[in-house]
């Protein structure tokens, strides 16, 4: 993604029911942290393999991964 820096990849387990591997944690030039779910390259670009259908869940995952990163690696 343009104007962003890859901080790392994360794997998560949701409610001991679903494991998602390869979530990207990125930092925008303005300092904001965001996530991108795993994706695959297609003829038309990239397609997400996993989609967050709920905004609250996506934000909860973003916040959890951001806090984990800061706790273990410091401020990005």
Would you state the pLDDT for residue 3?
85
Average pLDDT score, the chain: 94
CA distance 63 to 33: 9
CATH of domain 4-73: 3.30.1120.40
11-59: per-residue pLDDT in tens? 999 999 999 999 999 999 888 999 999 999 999 999 999 999 999 999 9
CB 20, CB 37: distance < 8 Å: yes
Domain spans of the chain, in order of start: 4-73
Strands (E), the chain: 4-14, 18-28, 33-36, 39-42, 45-48
Burial of 17 (0-12, 13-18, 19+ CB in 10 A): exposed
Q: Label residue 76 by pLDDT band (50, 70, 90).
A: confident
pTM to 2 decimal places: 0.88
Beta-carbon count within 10 A of 23 CB: 19
């Amino acid at each position: 993604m343009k104007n962003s820096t890859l901080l790392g990849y994360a794997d998560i387990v949701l409610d001991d029911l679903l494991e998602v591997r390869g979530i990207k944690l990125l930092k925008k030039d303005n300092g904001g942290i965001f996530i991108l779910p795993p994706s695959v390259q297609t003829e038309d670009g990239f397609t997400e393999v996993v989609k967050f259908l709920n905004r609250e869940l996506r934000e909860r995952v973003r916040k959890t991964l951001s806090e984990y990163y800061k706790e273990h690696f410091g401020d990005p």
